Amino acid sequence: MSAPRHTLHIVSGKGGTGKTTVAAGLACALATRGRRVLLCEVEKRQGLSELFGVPPLEGDEERRLTRTPAGGSVFGLSIDAEDALREYLETFYHLGLAGRALDRFGVIDFVTSIAPGLRDVLLTGKVYEAVRRGVKRLPTAYDSVVLDAPPTGRIGQFLNIHDEVSGIAKVGPIRSQADSVAALLRSRSTIVHLVTLLEDMPVTETEEAVGALRASGTGVGTVIENMVNPSPFEPAVLADVAAGSVALDVPGWEQQQNAALAAEFAVEASRTLEQQVRHERLQQLGLPLVQVDFDPLGIDAESLFAIAEQLTDQLALEVA
């Protein structure tokens, strides 16, 4: 079994597009044939534990979330900036008890608030350490790491580690860590996937995010269109339905009932046509597009595996 081409998959998307669900599905897709995949979250929402139906992830705990039907395992890690800062103070300045005392006085919140770039360095530093285990061939190494990153509105800043800390630290451990993380984020082993809905605002944010990521030198992989309702009809038929040109005559129904149903079909046909226009906008980005079907029954472990199958079928994933 060959090594994965990309070891770090970063997933972003506008809030409400289902990026956490897609990130979890991607982790399941990558977890094949004994592979170990780490799924990380950085927004303190405990979204991973809720998705997989397990107790909340605490501290530095890397707990197995699930075994996949493809024969791999997905582990979870919930990264907290304050915990990472305490670990940083202990590692480089040996401030174990003092670090906890600072936290009680609110100093940690103060520091990460006035220097948001530092918060991002600390968060991505934990991801960097997990990826580096594979390079070092440690027994706790992972074949792939999937990061459920901040939304597209902040993804450029979040990944632009080097510039964000330039005004904070010119030398020292923080700068060294930032340089190392920046090198990983710009390397060929890292790829960013963007999740969107076929709605105007998410598509616009996706277009803007692609431009920002390309300008920063970060590799952009795939745009994932989430919660899509596929239509079996051709655009010309949908246009006729949307225009009200198709009359309905359901046996046993009154004319008023047929008219009401035709009006509902017209609204749905118009929505589908609008989605196709937005799909064409995304095609102009010149990136691979993947569609994940809408699941009316909601998300559970089985639906995550179904999303994983869709991603495996459509993405050039390293699952051989």
Q: What structural domains does the chain harbor?
A: 8-230+279-315 (3.40.50.300)
pLDDT band at 319 (very low <50, low <70, confident <90, very high): very low
Q: What are phi and psi of 121, to 5 degrees?
A: -60, -45
Residues 15-31: tens digit of each pLDDT: 999 999 999 999 999 99
Query: Residue 190 pLDDT more than 90?
Result: yes
Q: Across residues 223-250, what is the average pLDDT? A: 83
Query: Residue 95 pLDDT more than 50?
Result: no
pLDDT at 271: 85
pLDDT at 304: 95
pLDDT band at 240 (very low <50, low <70, confident <90, very high): confident
pLDDT at 320: 39
The C-alpha angle 193, 194, 196, rounded to 5 degrees, equals: 145
pLDDT at 197: 97
DSSP tag of 292: E
Distance CA 301, CA 226 (A): 17
Query: Residue 7 pLDDT more than 60?
Result: yes
Query: Residue 2 pLDDT more than 70?
Result: no
* Least trusted range by pLDDT, from 139-153, 198-212, 236-250: 236-250
pTM, entire model? 0.86
pLDDT band at 111 (very low <50, low <70, confident <90, very high): low
Query: Residue 91 pLDDT more than 70?
Result: no
More confident residue, 102 or 188: 188
Distance CA 65, CA 48 (A): 8
Cβ(64)–Cβ(73) under 8 Å? yes
Quick one: which of 144, 182, 124, 184 has its CA closest to 33? 144
pLDDT at 62: 95
* Strand order, beta sheet including 220-228: 63-67, 73-78, 36-41, 144-148, 8-13, 190-196, 220-228, 289-293
Distance CA 131, CA 306 (A): 27
Distance CA 64, CA 101 (A): 32
Distance CA 68, CA 299 (A): 16
pLDDT band at 308 (very low <50, low <70, confident <90, very high): very high
Residues 251-304: tens digit of each pLDDT: 888 888 888 888 888 888 888 898 999 999 999 999 999 999 998 888 888 899
